[in-house]
Amino acid sequence: MAPRKKQAPEVNNTSPVSMADLARELGVSMTTISRALSDHHSIGPAMKQKVLKLAKKYNYQPNRLASALRKGKSQLLGIVVPYIEGRFFPSVVHGIETAASKAGYNVIICQSNEDVAQERRNLDILLSAQVAGILVSLSRTTHDFRHFEKVRSRGLPLVFFDRIVEGDNVNAVVLDDQEGGYVSTRHLLQQGCRRIAHLAGPQHLNIYKNRRQGYLDALREAGLPADESLIIYSDMAQEQGAEGMRQLLATANPPDGVFAAGDYSALGAMQEAARQGLRVPEDVAISGFSNETFTVITQPPITTIDQRCEEMGQAAVRLLLELIEADGRPFAPRQVALRPELLVRNSTARAEEASVGAVRNPAAKYVGVAAH
Amino acid sequence: MAPRKKQAPEVNNTSPVSMADLARELGVSMTTISRALSDHHSIGPAMKQKVLKLAKKYNYQPNRLASALRKGKSQLLGIVVPYIEGRFFPSVVHGIETAASKAGYNVIICQSNEDVAQERRNLDILLSAQVAGILVSLSRTTHDFRHFEKVRSRGLPLVFFDRIVEGDNVNAVVLDDQEGGYVSTRHLLQQGCRRIAHLAGPQHLNIYKNRRQGYLDALREAGLPADESLIIYSDMAQEQGAEGMRQLLATANPPDGVFAAGDYSALGAMQEAARQGLRVPEDVAISGFSNETFTVITQPPITTIDQRCEEMGQAAVRLLLELIEADGRPFAPRQVALRPELLVRNSTARAEEASVGAVRNPAAKYVGVAAH
DNA sequence: TCAACTGACACAATCGATTGTGTAAAGTAA
DNA sequence: TTACTTTACACAATCGATTGTGTCAGTTGA
């Protein structure tokens, strides 16, 4: 008979050591092992040492499934986002994972692909995975919120971020868009602009409504009239920004400043201004919103609002952890609004004085090298 | 006595129904419930119907922890990436999550922050979470690979992507960088360039070494000499691209084409060319690598290589699932190399004929609107 | 008619960790 | 010395689902 073929590259299939193995080796009960590892007072220091040493020796790793099953709570947090692309969501997820992992939690991530049905399914999956809490940014097609009742009725901590369910009986973290619109417009005013236009987004979306409101607030504060002819509504794509700019420049009294509610439309507007021979910022200052990566590489770089993506993730996790620790005890729902950060770059640099409290020509993060 | 305060918004803390509950209600054993739900042959069709109906009525959801504990395999895949930022990793993760969820798996994600120690810890956590398989892109500081032995010795499926452990005894998915360098350079040749420079990255990184090799391959194929003075090495930042371009243009015989191994250095080079009054692509054609978001919004848009991020994620999951299904049986390790896609844009559009097999002025994904 | 089968379901062990309760032995106070 | 703690550990149930091994009634075949 031929010699038995050696199995492919040594797959030992070492089954991981369990508490039972340690108990057997030390001749004690599993109780002792468990309590020694969790530093229970009823275990003597000598025994604790022995157990710890053996655990190290065998490289013992607790089975989280078993632990979670018994305790009824896992060390997992669930995230549901529309998708993991672009600049915003990945950064928030980055912040979430970082904060969660610091607190000893891991993160299981789901995409809804902007689809309610998928969102619903994701919630079910997270529930059956026994996560300790759930973070959600709503899909664009979610208008019925009943599926979140299931989560709530289980007493499972739930925090929304960015795209939230409105109301004061939910826990949520958002960017203060109104403040963003306000500081952007005020900045333009400080740079000497007196006729400031606004490239606005769809007003049924809160973010755009709020940015516009902040814009109006700043004008009012400066004693300037709100002129609806200076507000151009669109879906905020690059080309639409250019189109908006064309409209504005075609009027008898064109603006000397433009606050765009998004970076892409700011870019389009800036390119259109350049095509028409205008200098930015001298003839018209332009600012955007979102701190997209490209805003630092345009000529000139675009002044914009940073959305504190990572902070948003961290804040959401903090809130969720508070809820988890409250453990069912009454907890007053809280809505957190993050202060946006104005990033002043050359697309608005008309005045010499740097504006107070704003960063001057700040670079975007992670720009420069991306080794892939 | 004052009336009892009503508890905050009705937290029923409904404990989820278990198989035991269903069994009790139907007066049958848990075995029957379990087997009915998993469509076991030993359960009669009538009973199956009854069980299914009751499960629906009570909205029964299996406890995945319990199931996984018993079966020894969870429906979770682990991902370890350096970070979730920039364009590359989020897109890959997007692809991974999409493919995994389609196959009924969920994804738990960990960041190593380019730190081996963290990478090691992440692996341990994933092991103790009893994931069914692990996907890894190495941290930049990982030069010792022993911590992966622990994974292998447990017989746990492991697939590397992008930043991989070299060798033919691992499962891995990468982009074919050499091919990318080759098609880029060939494209420049087709556009009529005869003196093509290369902005190269650190040669200890495989990606850059391979892109350079592809560049050399194309030159050799075209019968052109490789001229080391036309290859500028740097860390590939924007400013270094500009600096490289300065050096090239300062020579007696400047290039008429530049293949940059990264988009940022391509951008720097293009800006420097513009500063020196050169027209792109007429005087010098420039192409980059990675399809960064900004490459479509520059003037002119930059020809680049798409790295098939999502496909990479999907391919990695496919491979991992194969391993999982092999379930310990001998499996010949496989390395998958994805074909890069050349995106021809105006920064290289000198010839009239569109090059064969390349996309003409393609837009980047997700550019245009980002509602945040 | 009796053995061999099949269909439909129950019993009970099991996965690995946790925890309330029990119980010796040792220590302390009265 | 008696009663009462404290210390240090073991027993055994438990979390919820899975599964090998019965069991029993009704069929089928020779």
pLDDT tens for A45-82 read 888 999 999 999 999 999 999 999 999 999 999 999 99
> Over chain B, what is the mean pLDDT?
90
At residue B16 the predicted structure's pLDDT band, cuts being 50, 70 and 90, is confident
Percent with pLDDT over 70 in chain B: 91
- Same domain for A147 and A126? yes
Query: By CA distance, what is A236's nearest residue in B?
Result: B369
Nucleotide nearest to A38 (CA to C1'): C18
pLDDT for position B282: 96
pLDDT for position B14: 64
pLDDT for position A13: 58
pLDDT for position B140: 86
| This prediction's pTM | 0.90
Tokens matching residue A355: 């504006």
Q: Which residue, B27, B62, B97, sits at the end of a domain? A: B62
Q: Using an 8 Å Cβ cutoff, are B36 and B52 in contact? A: yes
Amino acid at B74: S
Which nucleotides of strand D lie under 7 Å from a protein CB? 7-12, 14-20, 22
B:60-89 Cβ neighbours of strand D under 7 Å: 60, 62-63, 66-67, 69-71
pLDDT for position A364: 46
pLDDT for position B328: 80
At residue A16 the predicted structure's pLDDT band, cuts being 50, 70 and 90, is confident
Q: Report how many domains make up chain A.
A: 3
Residue B14 lies in a domain: no
Residue B123 CA to residue B144 CA, distance in Å, equals 14
A:31-90 Cβ neighbours of strand D under 7 Å: 31-32, 41-47, 66, 69-70, 72
pLDDT for position B330: 87
Residue A257 lies in a domain: yes
> Over chain A, what is the mean pLDDT?
90
| The pLDDT of residue A322 is above 90 | yes
pLDDT for position B205: 86
- Same domain for B239 and B346? yes
- Same domain for A80 and A150? yes
At residue A7 the predicted structure's pLDDT band, cuts being 50, 70 and 90, is very low
Residue B369 lies in a domain: no
Chain B residues 168-207 with a CB less than 8 Å from chain A: 169, 201, 205, 207
Residue B371 lies in a domain: no
pLDDT tens profile B126-136: 999 999 999 99
Strands (E), A207-282: 231-233, 257-260
**CB contacts, 8 Å: A368 with chain B:** 237-239, 264
| The pLDDT of residue A366 is above 60 | no
Looking at CA atoms only, how far is residue B362 from chain A in angstroms?
16
| The pLDDT of residue B350 is above 60 | yes
Q: Using an 8 Å Cβ cutoff, are A110 and B104 in contact? A: no
Mean pLDDT of A90-118: 97
List the CATH number of the domain containing A46.
1.10.260.40
pLDDT for position B13: 59
Q: How far is the CA of B78 from the C1' of D13 (A)?
A: 33
* Across A356-370, B25-39, B241-255, B301-315, least confident range: A356-370
Through-space distance between the first and last CA atoms of chain B, rounded to whole angstroms: 52
**CB contacts, 8 Å: A86 with chain B:** 90, 366, 370
Mean pLDDT of A307-311: 96
The tally of CA atoms less than 13 A away on the side-chain side of residue A45 is 0
* Across A117-131, A248-262, A346-360, least confident range: A346-360
| The pLDDT of residue A371 is above 90 | no
pLDDT for position B365: 43
> Cβ-count burial of A360 within 10 angstroms (0-12 exposed, 13-18 middle, 19+ buried)?
exposed
- Nearest CA to A227 out of A215, A237, A235 is that of A215
Q: Using an 8 Å Cβ cutoff, are A342 and A187 in contact? A: yes
Query: By CA distance, what is A307's nearest residue in B?
Result: B372
Mean pLDDT of A190-209: 94
Residue A34 lies in a domain: yes
At residue B206 the predicted structure's pLDDT band, cuts being 50, 70 and 90, is confident
* Across A246-255, A316-325, B33-42, B124-133, least confident range: B33-42
List the CATH number of the domain containing A112.
3.40.50.2300
At residue A14 the predicted structure's pLDDT band, cuts being 50, 70 and 90, is low
Residue A44 CA to residue A323 CA, distance in Å, equals 35
Percent with pLDDT over 90 in chain A: 81
Percent with pLDDT over 90 in chain B: 81
Inform me whether the C-beta atom of residue A325 falls under 8 Å from chain B C-beta atoms. no
- Same domain for B351 and B225? yes
* Torsional class of B187: left (φ above 0), alpha (ψ -120 to 50), beta (otherwise): alpha
- Same domain for A32 and A100? no
Inform me whether the C-beta atom of residue A94 falls under 8 Å from chain B C-beta atoms. yes
Q: What single string gives the DSSP state of each residue in A92-115?
A: HHHHHHHHHHHTT-EEEEEE-TT-
Chain A residues 25-54 with a CB less than 8 Å from chain B: none
pLDDT for position B4: 35
pLDDT tens profile A113-158: 999 999 999 999 999 999 999 999 999 888 899 999 999 989 999 9
Residue in A86, A97, A128 nearest the CB of B111? A97
Residue A10 lies in a domain: no
Residue B367 lies in a domain: no
- Nearest CA to A332 out of A323, A345, A341 is that of A323
Residue B288 lies in a domain: yes
Chain B residues 1-20 with a CB less than 8 Å from chain A: 7-9, 11-16
Residue B244 CA to residue B238 CA, distance in Å, equals 10
At residue B233 the predicted structure's pLDDT band, cuts being 50, 70 and 90, is very high
Query: By CA distance, what is B306's nearest residue in A?
Result: A372
* Torsional class of A79: left (φ above 0), alpha (ψ -120 to 50), beta (otherwise): beta
- Same domain for A259 and A293? yes
Q: What SS3 state is found at A269?
A: helix
Inspect the interface and report whether the beta carbons of A108 and B111 lie closer than 8 Å: no
pLDDT for position A362: 52
A226/B359: higher pLDDT: A226
pLDDT for position B134: 98
- Same domain for A232 and A352? yes
pLDDT tens profile B140-173: 888 899 999 999 989 999 999 999 998 999 999 9
Amino acid at A259: F
- Same domain for A77 and A203? no
| The pLDDT of residue A5 is above 90 | no
Inform me whether the C-beta atom of residue B127 falls under 8 Å from chain A C-beta atoms. yes
Inform me whether the C-beta atom of residue A300 falls under 8 Å from chain B C-beta atoms. no
Residue A183 belongs to domain spanning: 177-307+341-360
Residue A159 CA to residue A134 CA, distance in Å, equals 6
| The pLDDT of residue B235 is above 50 | yes
- Same domain for B240 and B353? yes
- Same domain for B181 and B131? no
At residue B58 the predicted structure's pLDDT band, cuts being 50, 70 and 90, is very high
Element (H, E) at B51: helix B45-57
- Same domain for A106 and A95? yes
pLDDT for position B306: 97
Residues at the strand C interface (CB under 7 A)? A 15-16, 18-20, 30-31, 34-35, 37-38, 42, 60, 62-63, 66-67, 69-71; B 27-32, 42-47, 66, 69-70, 72
Distances (CA, A) of B7 to A157, B10, B97, B232: 16, 7, 39, 70
Mean pLDDT of B97-121: 97
Task: Evaluate the omega torsion of the peptide bond into residue B281 and state whether it is cis, within 30 degrees of 0.
Answer: yes
- Same domain for B254 and B222? yes
Q: A5-19, B44-58, B181-195 — which one is most confidently predicted on average?
A: B181-195
